[in-house]
Amino acid sequence: MVSEKESSPFSLVGDAVCIVEYLQGLHCQEGAMSKITNEPRKRWGILRAIREQLEHRALWLYLLCDEASKNGVEWEAFAPAAIRRCGLYQGGGLVAKGRTSSLKGLRKTLFTKPAQMVFEMDVVKSTDDELNIDFHYCPLVKAWQKQGCSDEDIARLCDIAMCGDHGIGERYGAKLDLPQCIAKGDPVCQLRYHKN
């Protein structure tokens, strides 16, 4: 157990995972290295629980990439393709579930009201050929901040994670643009799906 006299980057009331990782010699200082602003406005209990699940998914990605780096493998050598495959798989399931490749169908199957609450989304535009959504909070970025990732690594991890969203878009016959991104220091993530 850490004594009160020992220097610690967290309170003993803090995240249990962070404490375990700290004791294992990892540096897990929430927000210590990040200057990215990413705080939820809504903090209801159920939203926190769902966000923790999404943070856990982001933690897997980070730890896989971190272990790859320790073994001399660049993140971009494997992770984007794997995450894109996941997006293609998920996108195929969403198209089948909604029985349409309309981007309105994507909004109805993936960007549901519960998802909108978790990511604090605003649906800006939703047509058959265009879907514009603004995210005001990202639990994945929060997970990487908790791990003490640099802002540069958070941006890289986000680019990799977004490969899944690109894969989903492909299944709908759409492209995805991301003009603004929380992981790159912007106040919002702007997802812009469009068909040519």
pLDDT of residue 4 exceeding 80? no
* Least confidently predicted of 19-23, 102-106, 143-147: 19-23
CB neighbour list of residue 75: distance below 8 Å, 6 or more residues apart: 65, 68, 69, 156, 157, 160
pTM of the model: 0.82
Report whether 120 contacts 40 (CB < 8 A): yes
Both tokens assigned to 167: 């894969």
* Least confidently predicted of 4-8, 39-43, 158-162: 4-8
pLDDT at 196: 82
Q: Which domains does the chain have, with CATH numbers?
A: 1-30 (no CATH), 45-194 (3.30.1380)
pLDDT at 34: 87
Q: What is the pLDDT of residues 59-92, one digit of tens each?
A: 999 999 999 999 999 999 999 999 999 999 999 9
In one-letter notation, the amino acid at residue 74 is E
What sign results for the dihedral spanned by CA atoms 89, 90, 95, 101? negative
Report whether 162 contacts 178 (CB < 8 A): yes
